Structure 1
Amino acid sequence: MSRIIAGTAGGLRLASVPGENTRPTTDRVKESLFSKLESYGVVQGARVLDAYAGSGALGCEALSRGAASVEFVEKHPKACEVTRRNVAVTSKTATGVTRVTQGSAQSYVAVHSGPWDLVFLDPPYAFTQDQILDILHVIAPNLAEGAIVVVERSSRDAEPAWKSQLRRFAMKKYGETVLYYLEPDESYADTGSEPAESENASC
């Protein structure tokens, strides 16, 4: 069972999605992730999209830490019901506005334009690189200035060839999991075309 690490709902135990087809973010990874995000000043007051929400653990953590709003999107009915329960208990002590939607992330983003300051993209590991790049292509125009997108993948998979107006500025591996941190690519916005290849820093 996962828990909320810090904030108004710190220590709260969250329900997990039953079955073996889900891959919840571990507390260790979540704690490191939010420590980095808070060092960037991107959580407090943020407008957050938690796509492929699963149990909603990442969005609930952001909510507990002061996000202004969190939109949760989960395709599978059982997982979406768990998300609703976790959001309800987290919201007892958090003040942010929430919305939980059952449906595909691609369809949701196509009709909801944000803007978002923080996006969690944690699709099933079975997702192909093309599927990830497709959803990022739709999300990118709806990001606020200074936004961060966090993509969680299996560390066994090759790093995607980032495009879609975004650049990877950091990454971190945790055993079987790797987190990629993306931000809007200003050179793309200035030229309207794909930027030249450059060396990305990692941490």
Structure 2
Amino acid sequence: MAGAAGGRRLKVPPKGTRPTSERVREALFSSLEAMMDLDGARVLDLYAGSGALGFEALSRGAEHATFVESDKRAVEVLKSNAKDLGLANVTVVNRTAEAFVAGEGEEFDVVFADPPYAVGDEELAKVLAGVAPRLAGDAVLVVERASRSAEPPWPGGVEPLRAKKYGDTTVYWGRVRADG
């Protein structure tokens, strides 16, 4: 990790998660910080796994992160990582991403969606459409997919900005349109 928690290692669930590599995470945050100031941002980390993306955002100045993870073992790891990092500004939700975005709730400035590679386009489309009403006015949506997958189905009001391939992973950035 970089930022305030620089050099710290996160615990990873025993199986079933694919943590974002350090190389991809560094490149992703370099691009994100060129687009926006993370200070005070409210972050949503869908399909959180170990929480690497949300914790990185907190380490770089985000105000609060909500982690959504359906696997109970991963939820315990998320809670442990938050405790080990000394972070109280986190909310850990044990639900599917689809169920979480279907509910009412706060708006977010940054949303990370890093679903398992097995999650299909249709399921991802439902999740992205569900999160769209919860995006703040100038929010950034970051989607990580297998490079062999199609570009994510961007919800209405979100403009695709760029895509960058890192081996078998491609990271896509979208932003809420000013008129969106």
TM-score scaled by structure 2?
0.94
Taking the TM superposition and a 5 Å limit, the aligned residue runs for 1:24-103 are: 24-90=19-85, 92=86, 97-103=89-95
The CA deviation string for residues 82-106 of structure 1, in whole angstroms up to 9 with x for no partner, is 111111122x2x5x72101111112
The CA deviation string for residues 95-146 of structure 1, in whole angstroms up to 9 with x for no partner, is x721011111122222242210000001111111111111111111111111
Supply the distance in 2 between the matched residues of 1:186 and 1:51 (Cα, whole angstroms): 24
Shift of 1:15: 0.5
Give me the CA root mean square deviation: 1.5
Q: Percent identity?
A: 46
Moved over 3 A (4+): none
Query: Is 1:16 aligned to 2:8, yes or no?
Result: no
Which segments of 5 or more consecutive residues in structure 1 lack a partner in the other structure?
A: 190-203
Answer yes or no: is the 8 Å Cα contact 1:133–1:164 preserved in 2: no
Count of equivalent residues: 180
Which segments of 5 or more consecutive residues in structure 2 lack a partner in the other structure?
A: none
Supply the distance in 2 between the matched residues of 1:33 and 1:100 (Cα, whole angstroms): 23
Answer yes or no: is the 8 Å Cα contact 2:137–2:178 preserved in 1: no
Shift of 1:42: 3.7
TM-score scaled by structure 1?
0.83
Supply the distance in 2 between the matched residues of 1:147 and 1:114 (Cα, whole angstroms): 13
Taking the TM superposition and a 5 Å limit, the aligned residue runs for 1:98-113 are: 98-113=90-105
Quote the residue 2:135 is aligned against. 143
